[in-house]
Amino acid sequence: MGSYLLKRVLALIPTLLIASVLVFSVVRLVPGDVLDLMLSENDYSASSHDTRADLEKALGLDDPIYIQYVNWLGDIVLHGDLGESLWRNTSVNQEIADRLPVTVELGVLSLLIALVIAIPVGVYSAIRQETLGDNLGRSFSIVALAVPNFWLGTMVVILPAMWWGWSPPNTIEPFFSDPIENLKVFLVPSLILGASLSAVVMRMTRTMMLEVLRQDYIRTAWAKGLRERKVVLRHAVKNAMIPVITLVGILVPILFGGTVIIEQIFRLPGIGQLLLDSVSNRDYPIITGIFLISGVMVMVVNLLVDLCYGLLDPKVRYDD
Amino acid sequence: MKDAVANQPANTPGETMQKDPVGGLLQVEHLRTVFRQGRREVKAVDGISFSVNPGETLAIVGESGSGKSMTAMSLLRLIPSPPGEIIDGDVFFGGRNLLDMSEDELRDVRGNEIAMIFQEPMTSLNPVLTVRQQLAEPMRVHRKVKEEDIEARCLDLLRQVRIPDPETRLDAYPHQFSGGMRQRVMIAMALACEPRLLIADEPTTALDVTVQAQILELLKDLTRQHGSSMILITHDLGVVARYADRINVMYAGRIVESGTAREIFEQPRHPYTLGLINSMPRLDASEKARLLPIEGQPPDLGNLPTGCAFHPRCPFAVDQCRQQDPPLEPYQGHHLKACWVNVDD
């Protein structure tokens, strides 16, 4: 197990290197230049050649791109320093550290809500196939899949504001000092994100349960005289969860994409909002920093998913 | 004792069945199980009656699709429903009708008084639970065995089914066992509560020939030790000859012949039984002798021929066979056959 983990962590290094090259270069290929933006913003009406060159030098953008890359990577590897914002004199590390907890809480809460809804509903739907409950569960999932969460989010913000003059709070208390106030902010956006995720997970759970319930070992469990609860929870669910865990691993990056939009709608100061601002300002260091951090998170989640297989499936063993 | 109770004539619905005064362990009467596919209705088990006496081994023999497995599954109501449904009949076990029981009552019988062993040892054990977890379940559910005694009992069962080194095997997972060893685990699990009746549904079909014999010997020994009865379902007449006391031959969801092993092998009275015996390879046959297969295909159960279901494949068929369905009637004593023709003639 230990050596497996080490191997997997070492394997992250080349992946991250490739990701860093892509992230660094692609961001600079986006049309529109940070210099033009800055010059127009500050109304250097006579944007003389000199001012532009000065600015470029001041921002460290005058070096060839590969030199910039090596410097950037060197700072990360040697000092863990993602650089400085081009617009503000703040470090990217600090910007991300301020915003990350918001996004992580939104993401984790959405995922929890999704699983808490999806797995019981999916299991129930499968064991009561073609009943009212099953049909309700499946209808819910189709609706949740069909309604885009940006639309739902917008409606949830706009309609109560129009009808009752209510809008969701957006001063965030840290979860551990005031969980209730904190949840007041996070619950609604998490529900919206969680609902759409839960639809996918629920359908997968249902399909897998139906598959597993047809297996010979389930018949054996019935023939032993076990109660339905035991047959389902002890013999079926664990087998059905293996592909569902894979799906959850795939959904995490999608979830991250969803937070960008939902943070914008609910004005949550998370990574997604920072990313949008930075992209429109062409604030390269922040954009690359965010991509790199989210890349690391996705890889860690995938590693966790693989480790979960080991817990669920005895045929998967990591002790070579 | 063995012959004290005979199979009741079947295939004649409406006839009042006499309950045996001595009381077989299991008495099946007019059992009917159908599978529905859209509007099509397939008669998997078509009104069969038989009984099993305490301590005896009854074999149910027939080709694939003859309804033998469905009969076994119907006894414990393990038919996947939908599409399957038991539409008629009674299954008396120790005087109680299994088909009228509530789910709770039936659960007390399953795995406790009647246990089952299935055809596929590779897939019949749960891949994510250890042998210990699976073996202990019936004892926990039915016998309320104390937690501290469970391990000893599990080890004892594994020893009984002759699994070497049971202490280390107890916490292994099914994929760490070979097919034969898995079937031994299945047998241990089935015997955990010392059932009065063991239903073995093709227990050796998926195994190597050498392992087959070991498993059957084991089943025979253990049922004898525990005094359990066994229903042995198989398509292999060789197996039957050696291990069964009595035999029911099934064709197209019905019993076509029933008798002691000796009667069936020495004086087969139904052309289908005769066909099965003739298609068996024999060591004492001359080198030039060829196997005689039964011509044709098993019938489509959703669309049976009129009259006797076997008549299109039967070399002895006469006009009556095409028109009237022969009832299962005594030929001699407890030897029953469902055929209009006297095969002797």
Check if B120 contacts A (Cβ < 8 Å).
yes
Mean model confidence pLDDT for chain A: 86
pLDDT of A87 reads: 80
A11, A105, A72: which is closest to A300 by C-alpha? A11
d(CA A199, CA A193): 11
Give residue A220's domain range.
97-269
d(CA B17, CA B304): 26
pLDDT of B323 reads: 87
Residues B99 and B56 in one domain: yes
d(CA B250, CA B238): 16
A196, A194, A195, A16: which is closest to A105 by C-alpha? A194
Q: Any idea what the CATH number is for the domain that residue A243 is in?
A: 1.10.3720.10
pLDDT of A44 reads: 54
d(CA B255, CA A206): 40
Is this complex's ipTM strictly greater than 0.90? Answer: no
Contact B90, B28 (CB under 8 A): yes
Residues B147 and B267 in one domain: no
Contact assignment for B107 to A221 by CB distance below 8 Å = no
Domain boundary residue, one of B144, B172, B192: B192
- β B246-251/B57-61 pair status: parallel
A78 domain-assigned:
no
- β B197-201/B329-332 pair status: unpaired
Cis omega (within 30 of 0) on the bond before B21? no
pLDDT of B258 reads: 92
**CB neighbours of residue B312 within 10 Å:** 15
A184 domain-assigned:
yes
Residue whose pair of structure tokens reads 């959405």 in the numeric block: A110
Number of domains in chain B: 2
Q: At A198, which helix (H) or strand (E)?
A: helix A179-213
Q: Chain-centre distance of CA A122, in angstroms?
A: 23
d(CA A289, CA A281): 15
Residues B220 and B331 in one domain: yes
Check if A64 contacts B (Cβ < 8 Å).
no
Residues B272 and B329 in one domain: yes
Residues B210 and B307 in one domain: yes
A211 domain-assigned:
yes
Residues B225 and B304 in one domain: yes
**3-state class of B327 per DSSP?**
coil
Please list every residue in chain B whose beta carbon sits closer than 8 Å to the beta carbon of residue A231.
none
Return the structure tokens found at A90.
């703040």
Place A40 in a pLDDT band, splitting at 50, 70 and 90.
confident
d(CA B149, CA B157): 12
Across chain B, how many H-helices and E-strands are there? 12, 12
A250 domain-assigned:
yes
Residue whose pair of structure tokens reads 């127009």 in the numeric block: A40
The predicted model gives A87-107 an average pLDDT of 88
Strand order in the sheet with B197-201: B114-117, B197-201, B229-234, B57-61, B246-251, B254-260, B335-337, B329-332
A85, A100, A22: which is closest to A272 by C-alpha? A100
Interface of A with B in 238-267 (CB under 8 A): 238-239
pLDDT of A65 reads: 83
B64 domain-assigned:
yes
Handedness of CA B277, B281, B285, B290 (dihedral sign): positive
Q: Nearest by CB to A224, which of B80, B128, B141? A: B141
d(CA B136, CA B149): 10
- Lowest average pLDDT, out of A35-44, A95-104, A254-263, B161-170, goes to A35-44
B16 domain-assigned:
no
Number of domains in chain A: 1
Residues B55 and B130 in one domain: no
Give residue B299's domain range.
26-113+195-337
Which residues does residue B45 pair with via DSSP β-bridges, in sequence order?
Answer: B33
Residues B43 and B90 in one domain: yes
Return the structure tokens found at A17.
């290197």
A7 domain-assigned:
no
B270 domain-assigned:
yes
pLDDT of B19 reads: 43
Minimal Cα distance from A235: which residue of B?
B126
Residues B146 and B249 in one domain: no
pLDDT of B210 reads: 82
Residues B154 and B258 in one domain: no
Q: How far apart are the first and last CA of chain B?
A: 33
B14 domain-assigned:
no
The tens digit of pLDDT for each residue in A303-314 reads 888 888 888 888
Calculate how close chain A gets to B280, using CA atoms only, in Å. Answer: 30
pLDDT of B13 reads: 39
B118 domain-assigned:
no
Q: Chain-centre distance of CA B179, in angstroms?
A: 21
pLDDT of B37 reads: 84
Return the structure tokens found at A208.
């897998």
A193 domain-assigned:
yes
Domain boundary residue, one of B192, B218, B246: B192
Contact assignment for B186 to A315 by CB distance below 8 Å = no
A260 domain-assigned:
yes
B8 domain-assigned:
no
pLDDT of A167 reads: 76
Residues B187 and B232 in one domain: no
CA angle B15, B21, B23 (to 5 degrees): 100
Return the structure tokens found at B256.
């076509």
The tens digit of pLDDT for each residue in A195-245 reads 989 999 999 999 999 999 999 999 999 999 999 999 999 999 999 998 999
Place A50 in a pLDDT band, splitting at 50, 70 and 90.
low
Calculate how close chain B gets to A223, using CA atoms only, in Å. Answer: 5
**CB neighbours of residue B77 within 10 Å:** 19
pLDDT of A43 reads: 58
The pLDDT profile of chain B, 345 residues, written as one tens digit per residue, is: 334 444 444 444 333 344 444 468 899 999 999 998 888 888 889 999 999 999 899 999 988 888 899 999 999 999 887 788 898 999 999 889 999 999 999 999 999 999 999 988 889 999 999 999 999 999 998 988 888 889 999 998 998 888 889 999 999 999 999 888 898 899 999 988 889 999 999 888 877 888 888 888 888 988 888 889 999 999 888 888 888 999 999 999 999 999 998 888 888 889 899 888 888 877 777 777 777 788 888 888 888 888 888 888 888 888 888 888 888 888 888 888 888 888 764
Return the structure tokens found at B87.
């539409």
Contact B243, B220 (CB under 8 A): yes
**3-state class of B187 per DSSP?**
helix
B328 domain-assigned:
yes
Q: How far apart are the first and last CA of chain A?
A: 8
Q: Which ranges of B58-146 does DSSP label H, i.e. alpha helix?
A: 68-75, 103-109, 121-124, 131-138
pLDDT of A111 reads: 93
Residues B310 and B267 in one domain: yes
Check if A227 contacts B (Cβ < 8 Å).
yes
A87 domain-assigned:
no
Q: Which ranges of B76-232 does DSSP label H, i.e. alpha helix?
A: 103-109, 121-124, 131-138, 147-160, 166-169, 179-191, 209-226
pLDDT of B242 reads: 84
pTM across the whole model: 0.82
Q: Chain-centre distance of CA A193, in angstroms?
A: 10
Check if B173 contacts A (Cβ < 8 Å).
yes
